[in-house]
Chain A
């Protein structure tokens, strides 16, 4: 039964993949229940003797007058706001690249594709100098504005618009007298929805984990995102902060988990199947 064995093999490989991805999460869960001294003396992938999870959570939430709560809120603002903006900009740009022709289109798109290859941290110093001359250092804008630009998002949106938004549909709308902006926002945008969700999630996770840019541009601890705050706690010398950092990390992945789990039901393909012949 070759078919049976191949299925078994595939399931085995997938199962290994699941284990591989879940072990760090499991470790984070168990480590969050230990006090800082127990971290070193108990088995790494199992619970310690005392169950200190609640103490740890309280310690994280109350440390430095509840700064962690502020950091989480900042992260939500940066990642939420930045990802919504990045998604809308990418959608508009991708749609334009897919559906319009204008001089220099190829070169422009090439430039956008090329910028995917630039490591983000390479741009941090020039961005710093730029924002410094604009007087925007140590403001939320210094983090939000650069995160609005997502070359990968533009690429994905262009492919989506090409594949899933039929030209006939747009022509029909034009004959009915709709303007270009309206066609984009009421017809193209909903059709591109599922792919845009992917762009949104990618941007959200990217900004959530963004670290170097906020570190360089934000001087005020009140403005830091959670990642930077946790990193700061972890890097403080002469103090053992492991349990703060670990429990804080556990708390900080909750919003990401919620974002993924709640948005996955919108991931549908073939949304436009039959759209033209309604």
Chain B
């Protein structure tokens, strides 16, 4: 064992205490009240926001200060809620679409429907639909996350299939490929993971929640959801999809060696795949996700985010003005597209230069054009609910028995619905079925 030399220890402890002293003094300085320039503070976790804020500050009198938090579900929202309680929340916060209702219900967000009125035309209806709870609007859309089919062009070619336009065709192609090579699946499916099926349900025109005059209607076992569940149940029963959790190391290995040949994923996933599956560069393409039938083109989403105004902000209009600028200004959007692979929610954003660039990883395909075409077809009927954590766990717990075949997904939906209604009632929310 190494013997620590006393001399070295002395130096280390001296350095540490010097550092401590220095930062304590710095800490004291930081506690001094801030100067009276009413700068808007903005909390978020998107690394590109810092640059966007710099761009704004260089051209506007009203200054904005960006502070990084852990991402929302990983503690960022907890932090916002605590700050609202303590009365020292920042004016602006990044909020994922799925969490807008949750934060609205606990009183953390400000209704900005009046302040936003002049900016309404800049965004599609489906983007506003995600911001609304009851009659109010609780955020300015920043990015949307339409789904599309990421597929391995080389594997598709090998088995002589083309990207299916309908789910029915997709099932038939899955059978063709799997019959030709039992090691290869056209897709993978995880029955107990919420976000995958939520996007499919949205595409089918279903929703798990709707809000009218302060009442939440819960419908996790609605007709559209049951149709989607029955489809994937059949796919699993006939061994036409690989039952596995997506985006695990094993899963990434499988998509790289082509044994899982496609995945329905949101637009921001384009860069994720590029980072995680570098070994299969050039073999990937993107196509619109299959539809219910050829006549009704509709798209689901997974993700998307907003800039919301937190309760206690004393310059709501100023905050909304900044948020709208961030979501619509060409310069700001270019940064978001380049640095964070965000896909703009604003109608003027989908035609921006960098979205029409061919990408090497996708064999030179201009993949963002596929998403731009899909964006207007996002189904606005879907609404997120007031309790994300409970929604996810009710669904996941009810679907776990599906994995060992003791329950079908359709049966699971009724179980999930019942336990979700219970959980929401326990939280003190008024729900109907």
Contacts and interface: CB of A to CB of B under 8 A. Distances in A.
Interface of A: 36-37, 39-41, 44, 73-74, 76-77, 80-81, 125, 128-129, 132-133, 135-141, 212, 215-216, 219-221, 228, 231-232, 235-240, 261-265
A232 B68 contact: yes
A21 to B, nearest CB: 17
A228 B70 contact: yes
B31 A239 contact: no
Given A219-B43, A262-B2, 5 more contacts: A77-B19, A140-B23, A231-B70, A240-B272, A265-B4
A73 B19 contact: yes
A261 B2 contact: yes
A128 B16 CA distance: 27
Contact of B279 (A41, A76, A80, A231): A41
Interface string B62-88: 000001111100110011001101111
Contacts of B272: 238-240
A137 B88 CA distance: 9
B70 A37 contact: no
B3 interface: yes
Contacts of B249: 39-40, 44
A139 B31 CA distance: 7
A44 B277 CA distance: 16
Contact of A232 (B20, B70, B82, B340): B70
B45 interface: yes
B35 interface: no
Interface string B27-58: 11011010000000001010100000000000
B284 to A, nearest CB: 14
B187 interface: no
Nearest to B5: A262
A238 B304 CA distance: 12
A140 B24 contact: yes
Contact of B79 (A216, A237, A262, A264): A216
Given A77-B19, A262-B9, A141 B67 contact: no
B70 A215 contact: yes
B364 interface: no
B276 interface: yes
A212 B70 CA distance: 11
Interface in B341-362: 341-342
A237 B71 contact: yes
A265 B9 CA distance: 14
A231 B31 CA distance: 26
Nearest to B28: A139
A139 B30 contact: yes
Nearest to B68: A221
Contacts of A74: 23
A239 B253 contact: no
Given A129-B85, A140-B27, A265 B74 contact: no
B68 A40 contact: no
9 contacts: A39-B249, A40-B249, A77-B19, A77-B23, A141-B27, A216-B79, A221-B68, A238-B341, A265-B1
Interface of B: 1-4, 9, 16, 19-20, 23-24, 27-28, 30-31, 33, 43, 45, 47, 67-71, 74-75, 78-79, 82-83, 85-88, 249, 252-253, 256, 268-269, 271-272, 275-279, 303, 340-342
Contact of B45 (A125, A137, A236): A236
Contacts of B71: 232, 235-237
Contacts of A238: 268-269, 271-272, 340-342
Contact of B252 (A40, A44, A77, A236): A40
B3 A235 contact: no
Contact of A240 (B2, B78, B86, B275): B275
Nearest to A266: B4
Given A219-B43, A232-B45, A261-B2, A128 B70 contact: no
Given A236-B45, A262-B9, A265-B1, A76 B19 contact: yes
Contact of B86 (A44, A132, A141, A212): A132
Contacts of A263: 4
A262 B275 contact: no
Nearest to B303: A237
A40 B71 CA distance: 24
A132 to B, nearest CB: 4
Contacts of B252: 40-41
Contacts of B31: 135-136, 139, 141
A12 to B, nearest CB: 24
B1 A80 contact: no
Contact of A41 (B16, B74, B253): B253
Contacts of B276: 36-37, 40, 240
A74 to B, nearest CB: 8
Given A36-B276, A238-B271, A239-B271, A138 B30 contact: yes
Contacts of A39: 249
B74 A235 contact: yes
Contact of B1 (A128, A228, A232, A261): A261
Contacts of A261: 1-2, 4
Contacts of A212: 75
Contact of B67 (A36, A133, A219, A239): A219
Nearest to B266: A238
B67 A80 contact: no
B1 to A, nearest CB: 7
